[in-house]
Amino acid sequence: MPGGVGSSRPVPEDAAAVRPHVLRRAWVAVDTAALAHNLRVLAALAGPAARTAAVVKADAYGHGLVPATHAFLDAGAAMLCVATVDEVLVLRAAGIAAPILLLYPPPVDAV
């Protein structure tokens, strides 16, 4: 096995280098209704005085930044949280006007 424990052989960067004949048949099916339901449940548990913030960093954890954002906002999220300036720009370009909290300080060259 290439690159196994104690091996001196490097692990290929691309799995296709090991098995070029294997087709990739993976996909992600995102249930935006489930995302919205989960937000509503958490908001109900937090109580009527609480405002909810949906964390959509890292492409909404693989759920799709813009579709997940729409689901959360439609379900009542008061604001969004992202990790990078690029994510803010994507949301603004998609017409998202909700308040956005940048969770990490932006690099100086991004400001």
Contacts 24+ apart (CB under 8 A), 103-107: 103/55, 103/57
User: pLDDT tens-digit profile of 25-77?
Assistant: 777 788 999 999 999 999 999 999 999 999 999 999 989 999 999 999 999 99
Backbone phi and psi for residue 102, each to the nearest 5 degrees, phi listed first: -85, 115
Across 11-15, 21-25, 92-96, 102-106, least confident range: 11-15
Q: Are 99 and 79 in contact (CB under 8 A)?
A: yes
3-state secondary structure (DSSP) of residue 86: helix
Question: In terms of DSSP bridges, do strands 53-55 and 79-82 run parallel, antiparallel, or are they unpaired?
Answer: parallel
pTM of the model: 0.73
